[in-house]
Amino acid sequence: MPPGDTKTRTWTWSRALGGVVPPMISPLSLTGEVDASALTATVGHILDGECSGLFVLGGCGEGAWLTREQRSAVIRGAARAAGGRAPVLAGVMMAATGPAAEAARRAADDGVDALVVGSPYYFSVDAGSQQRHVEAILAAVSLPVLLYNIPQATHNPLRPETVAHLAQDRRVLGIKDSAGDFEAFQGFLAVKKRHPDFRVLQGNEHLAAASLLLGGDGLVPGMANFAPALFVSLHRAAAVGDAAACARLQEQITDLCALHTHGHWLPALKAACAMLGLGNGTPSPPLLPASAAERQAIAAILTRHGFHPTL
């Protein structure tokens, strides 16, 4: 917890990871600094939409591309804006154990409530290397950890068998799975059967409804940055077994996902947020903001779903 931070927690891990935990964007100024006012506004929008947590410095938060100073600014700003209403989880998705452990210690000093840890990458690694990587992060800090399976970025998937070994440590809270591999997701649900406190969250928006109805605990959807209430509604419908409502909401979510096809998905997401008053759409270099034509296409998608974008 940063010096002088006197926030009072009003949440529990059971509730937080049994809801919607958006992977928050990192709003940047045109010159690359973290935009503190836009970050505060984004946190407020997400939590006012009744999401149960904040995941900063993940893929949507460009964590692997930000400088140490930018990362600290994001964590401190999010923790300050959350004010204890919901936990702040920070990604330490570095390519190797040493840099990840260093980032974990800094994040702990900056006031996060938990870390999000995936597989090492760049080089191929086996299950034993992945397990040692997570264990080293747990040894580096006293914070709990949420695992993160995102092989499209790491190229090294976390297998259910590896996750089962790690789940024996009670500081391993659960897993966010963004692989889009439903067979693997079911394997993570099987781990939950043996460890009831282990939480399984779906990060692939196309599989959101099916994952919840099958027994997933929560969602980590990028579009909840600007549409938190939509995903909270889906989570609530699934909780009462309303399959028809889930199907209707999933159809809306799937159509909204089309905005990611207009240019690179990350500038497209940040453009959608910007058009709804959250940041200015600037991504980390070397990416460029969405073009005028891309913004127009994204705005059309938002408009047909009842949003009111400003180009």
Residue 42, CB-side half-sphere exposure with 13 Å CA sphere? 36
What is the torsion angle, in degrees rounded to the nearest 10, for the CA atoms of residue 260, residue 213, residue 49 and residue 87?
Answer: -100
Q: What strand order describes the sheet that includes 199-202?
A: 54-56, 88-91, 114-117, 145-149, 172-177, 199-202, 218-219
The share of the chain scoring above pLDDT 90, in percent, equals: 96
Among the listed residues 211, 93, 195, 227, the one whose alpha carbon sits nearest the alpha carbon of residue 149: 93
User: Per residue in 122-159, pLDDT tens?
Assistant: 999 999 999 999 999 999 999 999 999 999 999 999 99
> Distance between CA 218 and CA 19 in Å, rounded?
5
In this structure, the dihedral spanned by the alpha carbons of residues 303, 304, 306 and 311, taken in order and rounded to 10 degrees, is 0
Q: What is the residue-averaged pLDDT of the chain?
A: 96
Q: What is the mean pLDDT of residues 44-67?
A: 98
- For 67, the token pair is 């400088």
Peptide bond into 286 cis (omega under 30): yes
225 Cβ partners below 8 Å, 6+ apart?
Answer: 22, 23, 24, 25, 42, 45, 46, 60, 269, 273, 278
Contact predicate 62/26, CB 8 Å: yes
pLDDT of residue 1: 44
pLDDT in tens, 197-255: 999 999 999 999 999 999 999 999 999 999 999 999 999 999 999 999 999 999 999 99
Could you report how far apart the first and last alpha carbons of the chain are, in Å?
39
Confidence of residue 10 (pLDDT cuts 50, 70, 90): confident
* The pLDDT of residue 65 is above 60: yes
Report pTM: 0.95
Q: How confident is the model over 276-302, as pLDDT tens digits?
A: 999 999 999 999 999 999 999 999 999
Task: Return the bridge partners of 23, or none.
Answer: 55
Mean pLDDT of 184-204: 97
> What local confidence, expressed as pLDDT, does residue 4 receive?
39
Count the Cβ atoms, other than its own, within 10 Å of residue 140. 19
Find out whether 28 and 69 touch, Cβ atoms under 8 Å. Answer: no
pLDDT digits (tens, 9 = 90+) for 169-180: 999 999 999 999
Q: Rounded to whole angstroms, how far apart are CA atoms 9 and 7?
A: 6
DSSP at 161: H
Provide the 3-class DSSP secondary structure of residue 219.
strand
With 60 as the cut, is the pLDDT of residue 3 above it?
no
Ramachandran assignment for 83, one of left (phi > 0), alpha (psi -120 to 50 degrees), beta (any other): left
Helix then strand count (H, E) for the chain reads: 13, 7
Would you please indicate which residues are annotated as catalytic (active-site) residues?
148, 176
Share of the chain above pLDDT 70, in %: 98
Q: Give residue 7's pLDDT.
A: 55
Beta strands at 54-56 and 199-202: parallel, antiparallel or unpaired: unpaired
Model confidence band, residue 8 (pLDDT cutoffs 50, 70, 90): confident
Q: What is the pLDDT of residue 153?
A: 96
Confidence of residue 9 (pLDDT cuts 50, 70, 90): confident
CB-based burial of residue 207 (10 Å sphere; 0-12 exposed, 13-18 middle, 19+ buried)?
buried
> The domain 13-250 belongs to what CATH superfamily?
Aldolase class I (3.20.20.70)
